[in-house]
Structure 1
Amino acid sequence: MIWRKSSILTLALLFIFSTVLAACGGGTGADSGGKTLIWGRGSDSKLLDPAQVTDGESMKVTKNIFDTLVDYKEENTEVEPALAESWETSEDGKTWTFHLRKGVKFHDGTDFNADAVVFNFERWMDKDHPQHKGGDFPYYGYMFGGYKGDEGHIIESVEAVDEHTVEFKLKEPQGPFLANLGMSAFAIASPKAVKKDPEGFAKNPVGTGPFKFVSWKKNNSITLEKNEDYWEKGKPKLDKVIFKSMPDNTARFTALQSGDIDVMDGMNPSDAKTAENEDKLKLYKRVGMNVGYLAFNVDKKGPWQKKKVRQALNHAVNKKAIIKSVYAGLAEPAVNPMPSSVWGYNEKVEDYEYDLDKAKELLEEAGYEDGFKVEMYAMSDPRPYMPDGRKVAEYLQADWKKIGVQVDIVTYDWQTYLDKTGKGEHEMALFGWNGDNGDPDNFLYVLLDKDNTRTPDAGNISFYKSDELHDVLIEAQRSTDKKERTELYQEAQEIIKEDAPWIPLVHATPGLATQSYVKGNLFEHPINWYDLDDVDIQK
């Protein structure tokens, strides 16, 4: 019955998308006005103000509209100049001075300068700022210890020294500070455009990036066009980019095979294997800097508030079966909240082995020998770390049934899912994270520290509040010694393993496929895989 309905839906979607896309086609067409790249993706963006964005589908677009002060090198996560040409820091690590690139314009023709940098940071940090509207700028809170007036807020001031020099003063040294500034959330927006409509800016973005925003047809497409005055000479090479929302993975792959789109991500693992054998397509498989996990909401009253229950459920997950079936082998079991590709990974932490007898024993010790009922959120849209959340949930449901735990699976569209989990409405939820800057802080502090349980945009959706973990993570932040930070992050992973606020499930190897005529460094970077400034169409 389920398969019959799924097949009918897929056929319907195939018809709809083939009809819609036939009007434009992929690649360079007579109606495109030059080189147009069409990217088929699993869902729409949520917002296009980078400082408000926490989801990958929005970042995929904002990364191409905006620039940051610093960026990451093409081959790794080391920092290199971007809007800032150079910088220096004081001996105590509390003062950072950035020398800005001259002659850069925002898409509305206004100048990029030190005042623009100050405006953006003050808008993000100060909840009383007249343009602090339309959102709480969650990433700012995640990465800089909250907002102005909060006890943990790390930035004391941001000041323009002259037109092209800006100075940051920190209350304490912050080890990941420079890496944080390269994150797309801290891209610099046009002050003029923000002041004109602070609440509407997220739907009509203006940056300095390689592409300008043109239009947004909600749940359909977002169109960008080339920034002819981009400061990095010779870029971009494309004239137009269209991000097309196509929720069904199979329909999206069929559109790629037929040439209606040029790029797709969120592939079914089985389709990735097919793409690998098609001459007209190119498959990219990236060792992802990601984690897919199940979060227990320990703020919600229920059995999962007991550590032994969480440990029991960790023992009752067959990760190898999930990877074989849902990921077609394109993933590895997760042990820690961050992948081994991130420095500071603790290889000594051992996973909870799949042991149903041990799980039953722990449940009995916790007083739940007869099991219990729980509601589990599963995302409906494909994500790079989880191509089919519903199927993963069904595996967990089947495993847990063997130990007496009854799971009711619920799904929502992606934007509703983000809203509900950010507010803590779930009991348990499947979720995931793609690393932003290659620093352990970006996984451990953002996803599991008590500072990041602020609603409605909690990064820590387990709402786990460990003072012991917090002290370790803050000490690691305030150190600029990588060896010391490594030791602290390894200690943090041991605390997390013992308390089990999550079930770390997988580190996925996401697949992206393009037409063979799409050239450039697309998908080869561990973080900036959606950066299109160097991508070209060569037929």
Structure 2
Amino acid sequence: MLKHAVIPFLVGASLLASAPFAQAATNLVFCSEGSPAGFDPGQYTTGTDFDASAETMFNRLTQFERGGTAVIPGLATSWDVSADGLTYTFHLRDGVKFHTTPYFKPTREFNADDVLFTFNRMINKDDPFRKAYPTEFPYFTDMGMDTNITKIDKVDDKTVKFTLKDVDAAFIQNMAMSFASIQSAEYAAQLLKEGKAADINQKPVGTGPFVFKSYQKDSNIRYTGNKHYWDPSRVKLDNLIFAINTDASVRVQKLKANECQITLHPRPADVTALKNDPKLQLIEKPGFNLGYIAYNVRHKPFDQLEVRQALDMAVNKQGILNAVYQGAGQLAVNAMPPTQWSYDETIKDAAYNPEKAKELLKAAGVKEGTEITLWAMPVQRPYNPNAKLMAEMLQADWAKIGLKVKIVSYEWGEYIKRTKNGEHDISLIGWTGDNGDPDNWLGTLYSCDAIGGNNYSMWCDPAYDKLIKQAKVVTDRDQRTLLYKQAQQYLKQQVPITPVAHSTVNQPLSAKIEGFKVSPFGRNVFSGVSIEK
């Protein structure tokens, strides 16, 4: 067992090919698609960040079953809910140890203080740690949890009570999401004392199945298996390595050469060859995702409904589906996927009509030749396998209605940061559901609270917000469904986005991998994964 050894990392086309752990039964190399922005899950919203932090090194009070949407115990073994739905009491797990690393040696086990630190830091902008390391927690605030959690009480070392202002029908599911990962209060106190609070994002300490070793941006992340994990049956690897490469074709070649044993987001053109390779397995599942176009309504002329309608009806969706998704997806007409309960099947797209789009632009005072920017993601995501090609096709579509489109792109972390700041005119983005609840789409992506977070349209409409807020505090599913359907209809009429496609998720991996389950939420989870000897 290589517990704290530093293993040489080879880069280039022969990545890990001659390194013994590439074939060793207790080591696994994952070809990932991008560099994380950091390792503090509370700060981020993308799968790239969560895979590298929350899903490897951390736990939550509740958690989702592997490969499913059911909520099961995590760092809390059980919980009680008051009759009025406003108080949640969590009973914490005994014997959970935080990671021991070269930069932190815990003196106690996980307890209530860690839960209080984790959430108070996200709620209270005057929290001493947050003042020492000023940061935002977009997911937490997008969902309104910063205002809805009114109090967190430590009943005793192993019991914590959350009090809510309003009923939150999805509270237990929300607590299982990556951003709610539990941090060490003891480690935070050490960092605060040393004047190094920002290290919480670069030198992580969690309770999860893997322990952080090192990170080289755009190259690799290394972890060792946590031999003191509270569920030892879930740790079957001595070493886990993320080999970072943004090129999907290169990732596939590395998989075929056994330079990595699992990868993600293959190009649609590579799927058939992967299926036919006897050394590989390909897991195929309908995607719980949406790829869409976000119009920044704070930039003129996109503040005008007629302009957004014109752009929407000028998009040749079928052409994009054929060229970009190549049969591995379905046309999207709504703001969330059809597999999400409460989906409104009566919603229809405006017909593809470039001529009418021209008329709408003219009526809105938009002159022919007007220049706009279209931002395209630099990475493949489950909801968009080729944003560059999609952007080029949209550039051509909108040129037909008299617009001059400039395509813009940045490194993934910078792209997310800048679009959240609203620097774009129009951006290509998407979402994979996180908890199986409609609010995770309709609230997290399009609400007023989500501006500065995942609301890339910067769209805030009081009538829409009223509907989704009402739905969130109702526990009866039929009543919630009725409200969410009204919200979907209203959003479709206002066109802050153009839904494009729901893609099929193809997960390629070595035939020797055992125990890997495709997450409906687009996460890559290595707990419980092993390699056949």
Give the conservation status (yes or no) of the 8 Å contact 2:290–2:383: yes
C-alpha distance after superposition, 1:278-309 (max 9, x if no partner): 11111122312111111111111x22211011
1:88 is aligned to 2:52: no
C-alpha distance after superposition, 1:289-344 (max 9, x if no partner): 111111111111x2221101111111111112111111111111111111011111
Aligned to 2:378: 380
Give how far 1:369 is off.
6.5
> RMSD of aligned C-alpha atoms?
1.7
- Residues 426, 180 of structure 1: CA spacing in aligned structure 2 closer, same or farther, 3 A cutoff? same
Aligned to 1:413: 411
Matching residue's letter, 2:448 = K
Q: How many residues align?
A: 510
Aligned to 1:71: 63
Query: Which stretch shifts more, 70-79 or 265-274?
Result: 70-79
Give the conservation status (yes or no) of the 8 Å contact 1:264–1:514: yes
Aligned to 2:149: 155
Aligned 1:280-319 pairs, distance under 5 A: 280-300=279-299, 302-319=300-317
Give the conservation status (yes or no) of the 8 Å contact 1:26–1:259: no
Distance in structure 2 (CA, Å) of the matches to 1:245 and 1:181 = 29
C-alpha distance after superposition, 1:2-25 (max 9, x if no partner): xxxxxxxxxxxxx96224433536
Give the conservation status (yes or no) of the 8 Å contact 2:382–2:522: no
Distance in structure 1 (CA, Å) of the matches to 2:336 and 2:502 = 8
Distance in structure 1 (CA, Å) of the matches to 2:21 and 2:337 = 35
- The DSSP-based 3-state class of the residue aligned with 1:380 is coil
Q: TM-score, with normalisation over the residues of structure 2? A: 0.93
Aligned to 2:478: 483
1:460 is aligned to 2:452: no
- The DSSP-based 3-state class of the residue aligned with 1:21 is coil
Give how far 1:176 is off.
1.3
C-alpha distance after superposition, 1:383-412 (max 9, x if no partner): 121121110001111111111122111111
> Where does structure 1 lack aligned partners over 5 or more consecutive residues?
1-14, 148-152
1:136 is aligned to 2:136: yes
Distance in structure 2 (CA, Å) of the matches to 1:89 and 1:28 = 48
Give the conservation status (yes or no) of the 8 Å contact 1:26–1:262: no
C-alpha distance after superposition, 1:125-164 (max 9, x if no partner): 111111112521111111234x3xxxxx100111111111
Distance in structure 1 (CA, Å) of the matches to 2:515 and 2:478 = 36
1:104 is aligned to 2:99: no
- The DSSP-based 3-state class of the residue aligned with 1:199 is helix
Aligned to 2:6: none
Give the conservation status (yes or no) of the 8 Å contact 2:11–2:219: no
Distance in structure 1 (CA, Å) of the matches to 2:400 and 2:312 = 13
Give how far 1:75 is off.
5.0
Give the conservation status (yes or no) of the 8 Å contact 1:276–1:282: yes
Distance in structure 2 (CA, Å) of the matches to 1:25 and 1:296 = 49
Matching residue's letter, 1:154 = N
Distance in structure 2 (CA, Å) of the matches to 1:425 and 1:354 = 28
Distance in structure 1 (CA, Å) of the matches to 2:21 and 2:339 = 35
Distance in structure 1 (CA, Å) of the matches to 2:497 and 2:310 = 12
Distance in structure 2 (CA, Å) of the matches to 1:468 and 1:25 = 60
- The DSSP-based 3-state class of the residue aligned with 2:483 is helix
Q: Structure 1 residue aligned with 2:114, among 108, 116, 122?
A: 116
Q: Structure 2 residue aligned with 1:45, among 32, 36, 45?
A: 36
- The DSSP-based 3-state class of the residue aligned with 2:224 is strand
Query: Which stretch shifts more, 284-293 or 117-126?
Result: 284-293
Distance in structure 1 (CA, Å) of the matches to 2:11 and 2:87 = 56
Give how far 1:26 is off.
6.3
Distance in structure 2 (CA, Å) of the matches to 1:489 and 1:415 = 32
Aligned to 1:472: 467
Distance in structure 2 (CA, Å) of the matches to 1:324 and 1:114 = 52
Aligned to 2:528: 534
Distance in structure 1 (CA, Å) of the matches to 2:237 and 2:67 = 22
C-alpha distance after superposition, 1:264-284 (max 9, x if no partner): 112111112210111111112
C-alpha distance after superposition, 1:104-139 (max 9, x if no partner): 111134311112111111111111111112521111
Q: Structure 1 residue aligned with 2:48, among 51, 57, 66?
A: 57
Give the conservation status (yes or no) of the 8 Å contact 1:363–1:371: no
Give how far 1:184 is off.
0.9
Aligned to 1:339: 337
Distance in structure 2 (CA, Å) of the matches to 1:450 and 1:141 = 11
Matching residue's letter, 2:288 = M
Question: Identical aligned pairs, as a percentage?
Answer: 37
Give the conservation status (yes or no) of the 8 Å contact 2:255–2:510: yes
Aligned to 1:183: 177
Give how far 1:476 is off.
1.1
